[in-house]
Amino acid sequence: MKITTVGIDLAKNVFQVHGIDEHGKAVLKKQLRRDQMAAFFVNLPPCLIGMEACGSAHHWGRKLASMGHTVRLMAPQFVKPYVKTNKNDAADAEAICEAVGRPNMRFVPVKNIEQQAVLALHRVRQGFVRARTAQANQIRGLLGEFGLIVPQGIGHITTRVPELVEDGVNELPGAFRLLIARLLDHLKELDRQVQELEDKIQAWHRSSELSRNLAMVPGIGPITASALVASIGDARNFDNGRQVAAWLGLVPRQHSSGGKSNLLGMSKRGDTYLRTLLIHGARSVIYRISQRPDTCSWIGAVVTRRNKNVAAVALANKNARIVWALLAHDRQFDPGFARSTATA
Protein backbone atom coordinates (compact mmCIF):
# COMPACT_ATOMS: atom_id res chain seq x y z
CA MET A 1 0.00 0.00 0.00
CA LYS A 2 1.73 3.16 -1.24
CA ILE A 3 0.00 6.46 -0.61
CA THR A 4 0.56 8.89 -3.49
CA THR A 5 -1.91 11.70 -2.74
CA VAL A 6 -3.25 13.02 0.57
CA GLY A 7 -5.97 15.57 1.29
CA ILE A 8 -5.99 17.32 4.68
CA ASP A 9 -8.97 19.17 6.10
CA LEU A 10 -7.35 21.66 8.45
CA ALA A 11 -8.84 22.61 11.81
CA LYS A 12 -7.74 24.00 15.16
CA ASN A 13 -7.35 20.70 17.02
CA VAL A 14 -8.49 17.68 14.98
CA PHE A 15 -7.40 17.19 11.34
CA GLN A 16 -9.09 14.85 8.88
CA VAL A 17 -6.76 13.02 6.48
CA HIS A 18 -7.75 11.19 3.28
CA GLY A 19 -5.20 9.32 1.17
CA ILE A 20 -5.31 7.38 -2.11
CA ASP A 21 -2.88 5.14 -3.95
CA GLU A 22 -1.67 5.40 -7.55
CA HIS A 23 -4.88 3.78 -8.80
CA GLY A 24 -7.11 6.32 -7.04
CA LYS A 25 -8.31 3.86 -4.40
CA ALA A 26 -8.86 5.22 -0.90
CA VAL A 27 -6.30 3.62 1.43
CA LEU A 28 -6.25 6.14 4.28
CA LYS A 29 -9.08 7.72 6.28
CA LYS A 30 -7.85 9.01 9.58
CA GLN A 31 -8.29 11.73 12.19
CA LEU A 32 -5.18 13.26 13.69
CA ARG A 33 -4.78 15.60 16.62
CA ARG A 34 -2.53 18.61 16.18
CA ASP A 35 0.30 17.06 18.20
CA GLN A 36 0.15 13.88 16.04
CA MET A 37 0.48 15.60 12.66
CA ALA A 38 4.27 15.99 12.51
CA ALA A 39 4.99 12.45 13.75
CA PHE A 40 2.57 10.93 11.23
CA PHE A 41 3.79 12.73 8.12
CA VAL A 42 7.49 12.54 8.91
CA ASN A 43 7.16 8.73 8.70
CA LEU A 44 5.07 8.86 5.51
CA PRO A 45 6.93 8.41 2.20
CA PRO A 46 7.05 11.62 0.10
CA CYS A 47 3.72 12.23 -1.61
CA LEU A 48 1.44 14.97 -2.96
CA ILE A 49 -0.45 16.77 -0.18
CA GLY A 50 -3.36 19.11 -0.81
CA MET A 51 -4.93 21.62 1.59
CA GLU A 52 -7.32 24.52 1.37
CA ALA A 53 -5.65 27.92 1.60
CA CYS A 54 -7.16 28.90 4.95
CA GLY A 55 -5.94 29.60 8.49
CA SER A 56 -2.58 27.93 9.30
CA ALA A 57 -2.34 26.44 5.79
CA HIS A 58 0.93 28.22 5.00
CA HIS A 59 2.43 27.09 8.31
CA TRP A 60 1.59 23.45 7.61
CA GLY A 61 2.64 23.87 4.00
CA ARG A 62 6.15 24.91 5.04
CA LYS A 63 6.34 22.22 7.69
CA LEU A 64 5.23 19.36 5.42
CA ALA A 65 7.45 20.57 2.57
CA SER A 66 10.46 20.42 4.90
CA MET A 67 9.67 16.71 5.38
CA GLY A 68 10.03 16.08 1.63
CA HIS A 69 6.37 16.19 0.62
CA THR A 70 4.99 18.17 -2.33
CA VAL A 71 2.44 20.60 -0.91
CA ARG A 72 -0.30 22.32 -2.92
CA LEU A 73 -2.74 24.88 -1.53
CA MET A 74 -6.07 25.58 -3.23
CA ALA A 75 -8.72 28.25 -2.86
CA PRO A 76 -11.78 26.80 -1.05
CA GLN A 77 -14.15 27.73 -3.90
CA PHE A 78 -12.20 25.46 -6.24
CA VAL A 79 -12.54 22.51 -3.85
CA LYS A 80 -16.26 22.86 -3.17
CA PRO A 81 -17.44 21.30 -6.50
CA TYR A 82 -15.70 18.04 -5.57
CA VAL A 83 -17.70 17.50 -2.36
CA LYS A 84 -19.96 14.53 -3.16
CA THR A 85 -22.16 14.42 -0.06
CA ASN A 86 -23.22 16.49 2.91
CA LYS A 87 -20.55 18.70 4.39
CA ASN A 88 -18.39 17.05 7.02
CA ASP A 89 -14.67 16.78 7.66
CA ALA A 90 -14.29 13.38 5.98
CA ALA A 91 -16.10 14.54 2.83
CA ASP A 92 -14.03 17.74 2.73
CA ALA A 93 -10.75 15.82 3.03
CA GLU A 94 -11.82 13.47 0.23
CA ALA A 95 -12.76 16.43 -1.98
CA ILE A 96 -9.40 18.08 -1.33
CA CYS A 97 -7.62 14.84 -2.18
CA GLU A 98 -9.48 14.62 -5.49
CA ALA A 99 -9.12 18.29 -6.39
CA VAL A 100 -5.35 18.45 -5.83
CA GLY A 101 -4.78 15.78 -8.48
CA ARG A 102 -6.65 17.63 -11.22
CA PRO A 103 -4.30 18.74 -14.02
CA ASN A 104 -5.97 22.12 -14.53
CA MET A 105 -6.30 23.04 -10.85
CA ARG A 106 -4.98 26.48 -9.87
CA PHE A 107 -2.84 26.55 -6.75
CA VAL A 108 -1.89 29.14 -4.14
CA PRO A 109 1.87 29.48 -3.54
CA VAL A 110 3.01 28.72 0.01
CA LYS A 111 4.17 31.93 1.67
CA ASN A 112 7.37 32.11 3.67
CA ILE A 113 7.60 33.51 7.20
CA GLU A 114 8.73 36.97 6.08
CA GLN A 115 5.82 37.32 3.67
CA GLN A 116 3.32 36.36 6.36
CA ALA A 117 4.87 38.79 8.84
CA VAL A 118 4.65 41.73 6.42
CA LEU A 119 1.07 40.87 5.46
CA ALA A 120 0.20 40.67 9.17
CA LEU A 121 1.40 44.28 9.53
CA HIS A 122 -0.87 45.26 6.64
CA ARG A 123 -3.90 43.44 8.07
CA VAL A 124 -3.51 45.00 11.52
CA ARG A 125 -2.95 48.45 10.00
CA GLN A 126 -6.09 48.02 7.89
CA GLY A 127 -8.06 47.13 11.01
CA PHE A 128 -6.84 50.24 12.83
CA VAL A 129 -7.64 52.43 9.81
CA ARG A 130 -11.20 51.10 9.75
CA ALA A 131 -11.56 51.64 13.50
CA ARG A 132 -10.18 55.18 13.14
CA THR A 133 -12.67 55.98 10.37
CA ALA A 134 -15.55 54.54 12.41
CA GLN A 135 -14.50 56.57 15.45
CA ALA A 136 -14.27 59.77 13.43
CA ASN A 137 -17.73 59.17 11.96
CA GLN A 138 -19.16 58.52 15.42
CA ILE A 139 -17.77 61.81 16.75
CA ARG A 140 -19.11 63.67 13.73
CA GLY A 141 -22.54 62.03 14.12
CA LEU A 142 -22.82 62.78 17.85
CA LEU A 143 -21.96 66.44 17.32
CA GLY A 144 -24.45 66.61 14.45
CA GLU A 145 -27.23 65.72 16.89
CA PHE A 146 -26.51 69.06 18.61
CA GLY A 147 -26.41 71.01 15.35
CA LEU A 148 -22.60 71.15 15.20
CA ILE A 149 -21.35 70.14 11.75
CA VAL A 150 -17.74 69.14 11.25
CA PRO A 151 -16.37 69.00 7.67
CA GLN A 152 -15.33 65.65 6.26
CA GLY A 153 -11.80 64.47 6.94
CA ILE A 154 -10.09 63.28 10.09
CA GLY A 155 -7.86 66.35 10.04
CA HIS A 156 -10.89 68.60 10.59
CA ILE A 157 -11.96 66.51 13.59
CA THR A 158 -8.60 66.78 15.35
CA THR A 159 -8.50 70.57 14.84
CA ARG A 160 -12.15 71.65 14.94
CA VAL A 161 -13.68 69.40 17.62
CA PRO A 162 -11.40 70.52 20.51
CA GLU A 163 -12.49 74.10 19.79
CA LEU A 164 -16.16 73.06 19.96
CA VAL A 165 -15.60 71.21 23.24
CA GLU A 166 -13.94 74.23 24.84
CA ASP A 167 -16.42 76.75 23.43
CA GLY A 168 -18.69 77.90 26.25
CA VAL A 169 -21.22 79.56 23.92
CA ASN A 170 -22.72 76.34 22.53
CA GLU A 171 -25.29 74.33 24.49
CA LEU A 172 -23.25 71.15 24.97
CA PRO A 173 -23.74 69.63 28.45
CA GLY A 174 -20.66 69.07 30.57
CA ALA A 175 -21.01 65.28 30.53
CA PHE A 176 -21.23 65.32 26.72
CA ARG A 177 -18.10 67.46 26.47
CA LEU A 178 -16.22 64.91 28.57
CA LEU A 179 -17.55 62.11 26.37
CA ILE A 180 -16.36 63.80 23.17
CA ALA A 181 -12.97 64.46 24.77
CA ARG A 182 -12.69 60.75 25.60
CA LEU A 183 -13.57 59.79 22.03
CA LEU A 184 -10.99 62.27 20.74
CA ASP A 185 -8.32 60.64 22.89
CA HIS A 186 -9.33 57.26 21.48
CA LEU A 187 -9.13 58.66 17.94
CA LYS A 188 -5.64 60.02 18.59
CA GLU A 189 -4.53 56.66 19.98
CA LEU A 190 -5.82 54.86 16.88
CA ASP A 191 -4.03 57.36 14.68
CA ARG A 192 -0.81 56.76 16.62
CA GLN A 193 -1.16 53.01 16.16
CA VAL A 194 -1.68 53.45 12.41
CA GLN A 195 1.40 55.67 12.16
CA GLU A 196 3.57 53.21 14.09
CA LEU A 197 2.56 50.34 11.81
CA GLU A 198 3.14 52.47 8.72
CA ASP A 199 6.64 53.26 10.02
CA LYS A 200 7.33 49.52 10.33
CA ILE A 201 6.03 48.90 6.81
CA GLN A 202 8.15 51.77 5.51
CA ALA A 203 11.22 50.31 7.21
CA TRP A 204 10.64 46.92 5.55
CA HIS A 205 10.04 48.67 2.24
CA ARG A 206 13.38 50.47 2.45
CA SER A 207 15.16 47.17 3.16
CA SER A 208 13.56 45.39 0.17
CA GLU A 209 15.04 46.09 -3.26
CA LEU A 210 11.98 44.61 -4.99
CA SER A 211 9.61 46.84 -3.05
CA ARG A 212 11.68 49.95 -3.76
CA ASN A 213 11.67 49.11 -7.47
CA LEU A 214 7.87 48.75 -7.57
CA ALA A 215 7.43 52.06 -5.75
CA MET A 216 8.93 53.83 -8.78
CA VAL A 217 5.80 52.99 -10.80
CA PRO A 218 3.34 55.94 -10.84
CA GLY A 219 0.38 55.04 -8.65
CA ILE A 220 2.33 52.63 -6.43
CA GLY A 221 3.73 53.84 -3.12
CA PRO A 222 5.58 52.08 -0.28
CA ILE A 223 2.40 50.63 1.27
CA THR A 224 1.17 49.18 -2.03
CA ALA A 225 4.64 48.02 -3.12
CA SER A 226 5.33 46.14 0.11
CA ALA A 227 1.89 44.49 0.03
CA LEU A 228 2.39 43.40 -3.59
CA VAL A 229 5.84 41.92 -2.97
CA ALA A 230 4.67 40.02 0.11
CA SER A 231 1.48 38.75 -1.54
CA ILE A 232 2.79 37.77 -4.97
CA GLY A 233 6.04 36.19 -3.82
CA ASP A 234 7.53 34.46 -6.86
CA ALA A 235 5.91 36.20 -9.85
CA ARG A 236 6.95 33.30 -12.09
CA ASN A 237 4.02 31.38 -10.64
CA PHE A 238 1.97 33.48 -13.10
CA ASP A 239 2.41 32.97 -16.83
CA ASN A 240 1.86 36.61 -17.73
CA GLY A 241 0.75 39.97 -16.41
CA ARG A 242 -2.86 39.40 -17.34
CA GLN A 243 -3.02 36.50 -14.92
CA VAL A 244 -1.90 38.84 -12.13
CA ALA A 245 -4.57 41.37 -13.13
CA ALA A 246 -7.18 38.59 -13.15
CA TRP A 247 -5.90 37.30 -9.79
CA LEU A 248 -6.56 40.78 -8.39
CA GLY A 249 -10.03 41.04 -9.95
CA LEU A 250 -9.07 43.88 -12.31
CA VAL A 251 -10.36 42.23 -15.51
CA PRO A 252 -13.92 42.28 -16.92
CA ARG A 253 -16.48 39.74 -15.83
CA GLN A 254 -17.57 37.58 -18.74
CA HIS A 255 -21.07 36.28 -19.46
CA SER A 256 -20.90 34.73 -22.93
CA SER A 257 -23.00 32.10 -24.66
CA GLY A 258 -23.71 30.88 -28.18
CA GLY A 259 -20.55 32.44 -29.57
CA LYS A 260 -21.60 35.90 -28.41
CA SER A 261 -19.10 37.56 -26.08
CA ASN A 262 -20.49 39.81 -23.36
CA LEU A 263 -18.07 41.62 -21.03
CA LEU A 264 -19.40 43.25 -17.85
CA GLY A 265 -17.78 45.24 -15.06
CA MET A 266 -14.61 44.13 -13.30
CA SER A 267 -14.77 40.71 -11.69
CA LYS A 268 -13.71 41.88 -8.18
CA ARG A 269 -12.23 38.45 -7.47
CA GLY A 270 -9.09 37.83 -5.50
CA ASP A 271 -7.43 40.06 -2.93
CA THR A 272 -9.71 43.02 -2.15
CA TYR A 273 -6.99 44.83 -0.18
CA LEU A 274 -4.45 44.82 -3.03
CA ARG A 275 -7.10 45.78 -5.56
CA THR A 276 -8.17 48.71 -3.40
CA LEU A 277 -4.59 49.94 -2.98
CA LEU A 278 -3.95 49.81 -6.73
CA ILE A 279 -7.18 51.64 -7.58
CA HIS A 280 -6.57 54.33 -4.94
CA GLY A 281 -3.07 54.83 -6.32
CA ALA A 282 -4.49 55.10 -9.84
CA ARG A 283 -6.95 57.75 -8.64
CA SER A 284 -4.09 59.83 -7.26
CA VAL A 285 -2.33 59.69 -10.64
CA ILE A 286 -5.54 60.77 -12.40
CA TYR A 287 -5.94 63.64 -9.94
CA ARG A 288 -2.39 64.88 -10.61
CA ILE A 289 -2.97 64.72 -14.36
CA SER A 290 -6.23 66.67 -13.97
CA GLN A 291 -4.24 69.49 -12.36
CA ARG A 292 -2.12 69.71 -15.53
CA PRO A 293 -4.59 69.63 -18.44
CA ASP A 294 -1.84 70.34 -20.98
CA THR A 295 -0.15 67.00 -20.19
CA CYS A 296 -0.50 64.41 -22.96
CA SER A 297 -0.79 60.88 -21.59
CA TRP A 298 -2.54 57.62 -22.21
CA ILE A 299 -4.55 57.78 -18.99
CA GLY A 300 -5.61 61.36 -19.73
CA ALA A 301 -7.07 60.19 -23.04
CA VAL A 302 -8.98 57.42 -21.25
CA VAL A 303 -10.44 59.93 -18.78
CA THR A 304 -11.56 62.15 -21.66
CA ARG A 305 -13.05 59.27 -23.62
CA ARG A 306 -14.74 57.42 -20.73
CA ASN A 307 -14.78 58.54 -17.09
CA LYS A 308 -12.48 58.64 -14.08
CA ASN A 309 -13.72 55.38 -12.55
CA VAL A 310 -13.08 53.40 -15.73
CA ALA A 311 -9.72 55.11 -16.12
CA ALA A 312 -8.73 54.24 -12.54
CA VAL A 313 -9.46 50.54 -13.07
CA ALA A 314 -7.65 50.59 -16.42
CA LEU A 315 -4.55 52.15 -14.87
CA ALA A 316 -4.67 49.72 -11.93
CA ASN A 317 -4.83 46.85 -14.44
CA LYS A 318 -1.86 48.27 -16.33
CA ASN A 319 0.14 48.68 -13.12
CA ALA A 320 -0.60 45.08 -12.12
CA ARG A 321 0.87 43.92 -15.44
CA ILE A 322 3.91 46.17 -14.98
CA VAL A 323 4.43 44.72 -11.50
CA TRP A 324 4.48 41.20 -12.93
CA ALA A 325 6.99 42.18 -15.62
CA LEU A 326 9.33 43.80 -13.08
CA LEU A 327 9.16 40.89 -10.62
CA ALA A 328 9.14 37.99 -13.08
CA HIS A 329 11.99 39.30 -15.25
CA ASP A 330 13.95 41.06 -12.48
CA ARG A 331 13.90 44.41 -14.27
CA GLN A 332 14.23 47.97 -13.07
CA PHE A 333 11.33 50.29 -13.80
CA ASP A 334 12.01 52.63 -16.72
CA PRO A 335 9.39 55.40 -17.16
CA GLY A 336 10.44 55.94 -20.78
CA PHE A 337 10.44 52.26 -21.76
CA ALA A 338 7.18 52.38 -23.73
CA ARG A 339 8.14 55.58 -25.55
CA SER A 340 11.60 54.31 -26.46
CA THR A 341 10.12 51.02 -27.73
CA ALA A 342 7.56 52.83 -29.88
CA THR A 343 10.17 55.09 -31.51
CA ALA A 344 12.71 52.32 -32.09
Do 158 and 215 have their domain in common?
no
In a domain, 106, yes or no: no
d(CA 5, CA 259): 39
In a domain, 342, yes or no: no
Give 136-187 pLDDT, tens digit per residue.
999 999 999 988 888 888 888 988 999 888 887 888 888 999 999 999 999 9
Q: How far is CA 249 from CA 23, 80, 156, 245, in A?
A: 38, 20, 34, 6
Do 226 and 326 have their domain in common?
yes
Do 147 and 190 have their domain in common?
yes
Do 118 and 144 have their domain in common?
yes
Number of domains in the chain: 3
pLDDT at 337 over 80: no
Looking at residue 294, what is its pLDDT?
58
- What is the pLDDT confidence band of residue 271, given thresholds at 50, 70 and 90? confident
Looking at residue 295, what is its pLDDT?
60
pLDDT at 342 over 50: no
Question: From its phi and psi, is residue 73 left (phi > 0), alpha (psi between -120 and 50) or beta?
Answer: beta
Domain region containing 240:
210-337
pLDDT at 106 over 90: no
pLDDT at 220 over 60: yes
Do 171 and 83 have their domain in common?
no
In a domain, 172, yes or no: yes
pLDDT at 189 over 50: yes
Last residue of a domain, one of 183, 207, 231: 207
Do 264 and 318 have their domain in common?
yes
Q: How far is CA 37 from CA 19, 30, 176, 185, in A?
A: 14, 11, 56, 47
In a domain, 250, yes or no: yes
d(CA 338, CA 131): 42
Last residue of a domain, one of 147, 180, 207: 207
Do 260 and 235 have their domain in common?
yes
In a domain, 319, yes or no: yes
> Which own/partner pairs from 15-22 qualify as long-range (CB within 8 Å, at least 24 positions apart)?
16/89, 16/90, 16/92, 16/93, 17/93, 18/90, 18/93, 18/94, 18/96, 18/97, 19/47, 19/97, 20/97
pLDDT at 261 over 90: no
Do 135 and 217 have their domain in common?
no
Looking at residue 207, what is its pLDDT?
94
CA 209 to chain CA mean position, Å: 21
pLDDT at 192 over 60: yes
In a domain, 12, yes or no: yes
Do 190 and 263 have their domain in common?
no
Check residues 269 and 316 and name the one with the higher pLDDT.
316
In a domain, 108, yes or no: no
Q: How far is CA 161 from CA 129, 141, 144, 165, in A?
A: 20, 12, 12, 6
Q: How far is CA 224 from CA 118, 135, 201, 270, in A?
A: 12, 25, 10, 16
Do 235 and 324 have their domain in common?
yes
Last residue of a domain, one of 207, 242, 274: 207
In a domain, 105, yes or no: no
Task: Judge residue 12's burial from the number of C-beta atoms within 10 Å of its C-beta, 0-12 exposed, 13-18 middle, 19 or more buried.
Answer: exposed
pLDDT at 56 over 50: yes
Do 162 and 55 have their domain in common?
no
